[in-house]
Amino acid sequence: MAIRRMMKLALAALFTSSVLGAEPVFNSKRDKTPNTKRAKLLSKARSLNNNNNNYYNGVNLADYEIKFTKCQFVKSFDDEMAADEDASSVLATRRFVIFRMCPSDNCSSCNYGYGEYVVDLETYLEFAVEYVQEEQKEMCNACAENCAVYYDDNANDAYDANGYGNRGLVYYDCSSCSGDCAAIEAMEEMGYQEATEYLECQQIYNYNGNELYAGPMCSNDGEQIKIGVFADQYCSVHTNNNIKDYLGQDDNGNNIQLSYGLMKKLYSSNCISCIEDNGNNNNGQYNGYANEPNEFCENLYESAAKCESAHNFNNGYSNYANYANQAAQENVVCNFISSLSSGTYDETGEIRVGASSSSSSSTASTTGAQKFFLTVFILGTVGLAVYAAMLHQQITKGAGSDAQLSSQGGTIA
């Protein structure tokens, strides 16, 4: 077991530090100002990429929909944790989300002509939560303003005259939205707290020097995002504690429960349209106006490392001369995404060295064959780490300064 643990530490340091070390791409939780920095970078990137015609160097994002694929932990060596005498581990847990940009007419299957992307969980949550919160707000406003017309038999003429110009009635079901919005409004009174309030690692317990923290994490199968309880301020060391045991009671004496109503939309199997709902296009071209991409898709696309050519994504970044970096590093990105998807890491984020013994009669000694294959595995991992280091170097160059960002078109990886 000690040998296996040492191997995991070595592999984590070799493999993940080179791939994940680029802070602008995969932001560490300890970066206290990622949103401000990212907003400045993205504002410049959008002005360079958009060219005022809804196209991002040939990519019309409005033709695509976003589909969540997986959430995955990855543990890697961390200098700050290694220097912290109170830290229980030298491995920091980083979290990633894999998503796809699927053609809007084929999002359910999404098996051709799509792009695959990876972004740190914090970035994904930042943009996705803002989007679903705004969507929920618009739904309830539209429901309150328009559904009275829907239920008023005497208002049929007014409804018919307004027709599909009333987008509140087009996009939202009046038979259910009133109840849904009433439940949302009463959620706090009923003793529920929205899980999205714990998107940043924060302390939830402190007694006699024992501290616990809550923050977002991936489920064991990677298909969900939930709020977990951690033993450290970085939300790296997961515990088996349940957060509901630390939420206390509200002013009415009700035990506070977490509601995942909003968060479930972040990892739903349903696709999210990239069309900006401005009331003019009605999910299609209307009166000669082309669809516009929404800000959620723009931000997420610009922030992610991209694997496009391998899936025949039309007009991807790697097809353009000023994105030579993307073309050169795309195989590395694709391989990294594949490693996240294929089980290279277990549910805790550690690299899988080998399965546990299948028989109680197995001994602790290592056979010659095991040593051979283990050596091959380690050498292969080191080679992959060296190759992946190119990604680290190129990405860090792209985040060095505003001038560098401009010269690379505001993209990453």
Task: Write out pLDDT tens, residues 263-281.
Answer: 999 999 899 999 987 655 4
Task: Write out pLDDT tens, residues 16-50.
Answer: 444 444 333 333 333 433 333 333 333 333 333 44
pLDDT at 249: 84
d(CA 169, CA 187): 25
d(CA 54, CA 48): 12
Triad 270, 194, 210: Cα angle to 5°: 120
Polymer length in residues for the chain: 413
Asked if residue 230 lies in contact with residue 239, where contact means CB atoms within 8 angstroms, the answer is yes
Instruction: Give which of 194, 203, 209, 256 is closest to 230, Cα–Cα.
Output: 203
CB atoms within 10 A of CB 349: 23
d(CA 63, CA 43): 22
Triad 259, 261, 262: Cα angle to 5°: 110
Helices 34-50 + 295-303 axis angle, to 10: 100
Threshold 0.95, pTM exceeds? no
pLDDT at 79: 85
Q: Is 300 left (phi over 0), alpha (psi -120 to 50) or beta?
A: alpha
pLDDT at 278: 64
Q: Where are the domains of the chain?
A: 2-130+267-407
DSSP assignment of 131-176? HHHHHHHHHHHHHHHHHHHHH-GGGHHHHHHHGGG-HHHHHS-HHH
pLDDT at 337: 93
> Which residue ranges of the chain lie beneath pLDDT 70?
1-58, 148-172, 278-289, 315-327, 353-413
